[in-house]
Structure 1
Amino acid sequence: MFHVYRSLIFILCSLLCLPSCIRDDSPSGAEGVRPGDRLPDFTVSLNDNTLVVASDLLGKVAVLVFFHTECPDCQKEFPVVQRLYDYYRDNSTVKIYCISREEPADEVAAYWQENGLTIPYSPQSGREVYNLFSERGIPRIYVSDKHLVVYSVYSDNPIATFEQLKSDVEYCLNGN
């Protein structure tokens, strides 16, 4: 009987520890890029083969969205970002790019096509670019000013609204 209780306690403790094994595999305590920080140096290739380097964004207002197409909050955020992209489509001073986290190009392309998205995206099969900005949590949206300084950061709690993002972009366009 004692062995049964000991086994049950072991199983219960193992189940309680399971969530810590499932979450993002990153060290705790790292905040990542915050408002006031400079954009990290990064290079991504977009779906149209355009190469984007962080320094290319100097003099531009940038909205960078990190995502995974299977993430429910990301799926809720895509229509907001698409609306923002459509709003600023003809403004060459505003750049909006979506960057996947650990998701291959074919999966991202299929999702974009199925959902009628036209936002430029960079499929990333790993976390190298994402890890320059953060260690956990998607969606993650960074709005930076013309000097490559991050003005605002949004995550999934709560997800960003069109009005918030537009307000941030307008501030960075007019206030800097």
Structure 2
Amino acid sequence: MKRYLLLVLALVFTSSLWADENEGNLTKKGQLAPDFTITSLDGDLFKLSDLKGKVILVNFFATWCGPCMKELPELEKQLWPRFKNENFKMISIGREHTVTELKKFQCAKEFTFPIAADPQRHIYAKYAEKYIPRNYIIDKEGYIIFQGKGFSQKELDEMMEIIEKAMKE
């Protein structure tokens, strides 16, 4: 009887881990990334389908989100200087924010990576239903090779390893 109870508990626990990992996702690793077009705060057009041949990081954030405010400075300090070149593109998309709000935010925080506004969540809605920060790494062929939510140094390190590997392929 104890073995049966332990087996049931193990199954419930592992299924809850899987559900949490995928909760709120509208995309799956290995699928073609949903296309979108957005203009950065600097006025540059970012059309995902035009970036084939490049490794891409799409980041979703909000200025009121505590984990986002921990993650963005680390993207600026660790990831952006390491990878910014002609073979890598990054866009951080402010979910629910206007261009005016994000220009003030970018200036105050001194972020140099591209930022864009998604005030109505139109782009976010192609990727997820809830939770931020969210990160999607897209390979040179346009497929999602990583998707994550929340922030931890361990996940940031994993993202940088995945980007490094994808850029060599």
- Cα distance in 1 for partners of 2:76, 2:143 equals 23
Matched-pair contact (CA < 8 Å) for 2:59–2:135 = yes
Name the CA distance, whole Å, in 2 between partners of 1:36 and 1:112.
32
Compute the TM-score of the two structures, normalised by the length of structure 2: 0.80
The equivalent residue for 1:16 is: none
Tell me the residue number matched to 1:135: 129
- In the TM superposition, structure 1's runs of 4+ consecutive aligned residues that sit over 6 Å from their partners are none
Residue aligned with 1:81, SS = helix
CA apart distance, 1:106: 1.6
Q: State the one-letter code of the partner of 2:115.
A: Y
* Contact map agreement 2:24 2:130 (CA 8 A) in 1: no
Q: 2:83 aligns with which of 60, 63, 88?
A: 88
- Secondary structure of 2:59 counterpart: strand
Query: Which runs of structure 2 are paired with 1:53-132 in the superposition (5 Å)?
Result: 53-83=47-77, 84-89=79-84, 91-132=85-126
Aligned to 1:154: 148
Secondary structure of 2:123's match? Answer: helix
Question: Deviation at 1:105?
Answer: 1.2
Which structure would you say has the larger Rg?
A: 1
- 1:7-86 matches, cutoff 5 A: 31-83=25-77, 84-86=79-81
| Structural RMSD (CA) | 1.6
Provide the rounded CA distance (Å) in 2 between the counterparts of 1:102 and 1:87.
Answer: 29
Structure 1: any 5+ residue segments left out of the alignment? 1-28
Deviation at 1:151, TM superposition (A): 0.6
AA of the residue aligned to 2:83: Y
Q: Which amino acid aligns with 1:48?
A: D
Q: State the number of aligned residues.
A: 146
